[in-house]
Structure 1
Amino acid sequence: MTVRSPFQLEIASATDAGQIRSFNEDSIAADGDLGLLVLADGMGGYKAGDVASSLATGLVMDYVKRILNDTEPSPIESAKLSRESMAIKFAIEKTNLAIYKTARTEDKYTGMGTTIVLILFHHGLATIAHVGDSRLYRLRQGRFELLTTDHSLLQDQLEMGLISSDDAKLSHNRNLVSRALGVEATVDVDVYEDNVQVNDIYLLCSDGLNDMVDDADIELAVSALSTNISLAATQLIQMANDNGGHDNVSVLIAKVRNGEAEKRGLMDRLLNWLKSF
């Protein structure tokens, strides 16, 4: 984990094409030293969606790493957001423009786009950002909560009272996003900061998970397997596939640990071992 945070991260990931589609257009990336996890769900058909999601995860990782490792004074300033959060916003906007230009200069990539959801841990905080309907959940002290709001036609209908939550589960508009990277030259990015607590578990997922598995069942799996998040990741993929696996499904899980306490515990054990001689 980066020195910018007092916490250590345990990270697990899994991705699968699902039971129906032969090609996986999701892309995931994680850098434990940087404290950054990124997930993207591509759209635009065979290859195009894969290219869009790969560009999203790769470019965002690269932009954020370069900005945060830059020792020169940065023009990124905001009264509301930290330097790290502004770096995330800038990185996503730059990535959006890159995907937009690629889609318009390469005929085979015409119409491609991607969702994105990410989390960056720093200074005891977590910067969360997303565009589209890929989600981020948090399990904290037994409470499982969705921290992102889908940018989708269905969510807009729900907020306007045009459809009930029960009818929404059966709607054919579930996968129609109202916001995505690469569709327009500019994009509106939702960015905010969350205070991090030890033992928090953050789950990033593509809609291939939450479309196939109810939130209550996702919560049950994450809670039951909170001590083995690698198993939790593979279990969530299996649950989506067991329920039909109609879409690609990807998950990234980060569990927050007390880095300073673990270091002290290690030193104490080492000292006790030395005293035994």
Structure 2
Amino acid sequence: MATPTNFTLDYALASHPGQLRPLNEDAIGARPDLGLFVLCDGLGGYNAGEIAATMAVSSLLSTLADDYRQAQSGEAPFDPRKVLAERMIEMNGVIARAAADSAAFEGMATTIVIAWVLGDRLWVAHAGDSRLYRFRAGVLEALTRDHSFSQELLDAGMVTEEEARLLPSKNLVTRALGAGGDVEPEVNDYPLRVGDVLMLCSDGLTEMVDDVQIAGAIFASVPDVQRAAQRLVDMANAAGGRDNVSVIVVRLAGRRGLEPRRMSVAEPRPSVEETAGSLSG
């Protein structure tokens, strides 16, 4: 199977239950050969959040890999936006049906964030408050916006950022897989270049460590992505570790020698910014 990314990738995954919770309801996984990384945070306060998170990571890594593999032999362009949205909607139904079939799973749900490096672009799909950041030339930028009650109040200008962090309902998400009803995945794409660092995380990190501290930890650690991932987890725990914390760090270490590909990728729409272990081939 041809490798879809034009970059060599260094990556690391780290997860910890935190200082207060006996169970880790986060799930993380990767298909680095496909440039594909998935992180889920099973929602606290619901039954079997860890089951929903594990189901989503395992299933989506498998189905998205199958979609890419099948597209290689087809003539139609591979449309990442369509595939990611459809698979997330499908996963929402799978989790909802599993919850309906068992009292032990009733109400289970999970956030999700997906990073897929295809060609020279990053495709990001998410639902909930798990985030994806890009660190480039010393600047950290959030490429996702939380689907949460506190973010909606913040966007409406009803609270300040500090007030939003103190809201009792700050962890109430407005989109998730399996939370009941339909889900509206958000899918966006961004250009990439050598040296970019991508960081996926659960809110166990961002509730404990602010963006300035995150940027400092990445800057101080790269090119060692394992050190960066572990340092971020350790910082969350040192700050109190009130929740499970999970991190995936991916560094675009260089460009690979491109091999012929039978599959074409559908041209992405211009992004907002355009309009305004080691894996190598």
Q: Scaled by the length of structure 2, what TM-score is found?
A: 0.87
Q: Is the 8 A contact 1:23 1:46 kept in 2?
A: no
**Residue 30 of structure 1 aligns to which amino acid in structure 2?**
A
Whether the 8 Å contact between 2:47 and 2:107 is mirrored in structure 1 is no
* Residues in 2 aligned to 1:2 and 1:8: alpha-carbon distance in whole angstroms: 14
Give the AA of the match of 2:39.
L
Instruction: Report how many residues are paired.
Output: 258
Q: CA deviation at 1:28?
A: 0.1
Change (3 A) 1:47 1:160: closer
CA 1:2/1:8 → structure 2, altered by over 3 Å: closer, same or farther? Answer: farther
Separation in structure 2 between the aligned mates of residue 205 and residue 157 of structure 1, nearest angstrom? 22
What is the Cα deviation at residue 185 of structure 1?
4.1
Aligned to 2:205: 209
The 8 Å contact of residues 52 and 114 in structure 1, kept in 2 or not, is answered as yes
State the Cα distance separating 1:214 from its structure 2 match. 0.9
What is aligned with 1:223?
Answer: 219
CA distances 1:72-108 after superposition (whole Å, capped 9, x unpaired): 5488x8xxxx612321111111111100111111110
Counterpart of 1:83?
A: 79
String of CA shifts for 1:127-157, please: whole Å, max 9, x gaps.
0010000000000111110110000000001
Kindly indicate whether residue 139 of structure 2 is the aligned counterpart of residue 143 of structure 1. Answer: yes
Asked whether the 8 Å contact 1:140–1:200 carries over to 2, the reply is: yes
Structure 1 CA distance for aligned equivalents of residues 165 and 29 of structure 2: 29
Letter in 2 for 1:206: S
Aligned letter for 1:35?
G
Greater CA drift, 161-170 or 45-54: 45-54
Aligned to 2:195: 199
- Cα drift, residue 184 of structure 1: 2.5
Q: Structure 1: which 5+ residue stretches go unaligned?
A: 264-277
- 8 Å CA contact 2:5–2:34 kept in 1: the answer is no
Q: Could you say what secondary structure the match of 2:23 adopts?
A: coil
Q: Which runs of 5+ in 2 are unaligned?
A: 260-281
Q: Bigger shift: 181-190 or 66-75? A: 66-75
Letter in 1 for 2:154: L
* Identity within the alignment, %: 37
Of 131, 135, 159, which aligns to 1:163? 159
Q: Matches of residues 1-277 of structure 1 in structure 2 within 5 Å?
A: 3-43=3-43, 45=45, 48-70=48-70, 71=72, 73=74, 83-260=79-256
Question: In 2, are the aligned partners of 1:25 and 1:53 still within 8 Å (CA)?
Answer: yes
Counterpart secondary structure, 2:166: coil
Aligned equivalents of 1:189 and 1:2: distance in 2?
A: 27
Alignment-derived partner of residue 271 in structure 1: none
The 8 Å contact of residues 229 and 248 in structure 2, kept in 1 or not, is answered as: yes
C-alpha distance in 1, partners of 2:257/2:74?
33
Q: What is the alpha-carbon distance in structure 1 between the residues aligned to residue 81 and residue 157 of structure 2?
A: 32
Amino acid aligned to 1:244: G
Query: If you compute each CA radius of gyration, which structure gives the higher value, 1 or 2?
Result: 1
SS across alignment from 2:194: coil
Query: Is the partner of 2:34 in helix, strand or coil?
Result: coil
CA shift, 1:183, in A, is: 1.5
**Structure 1 pair 215–141 and aligned structure 2 pair: CA distance change class (3 A):** same
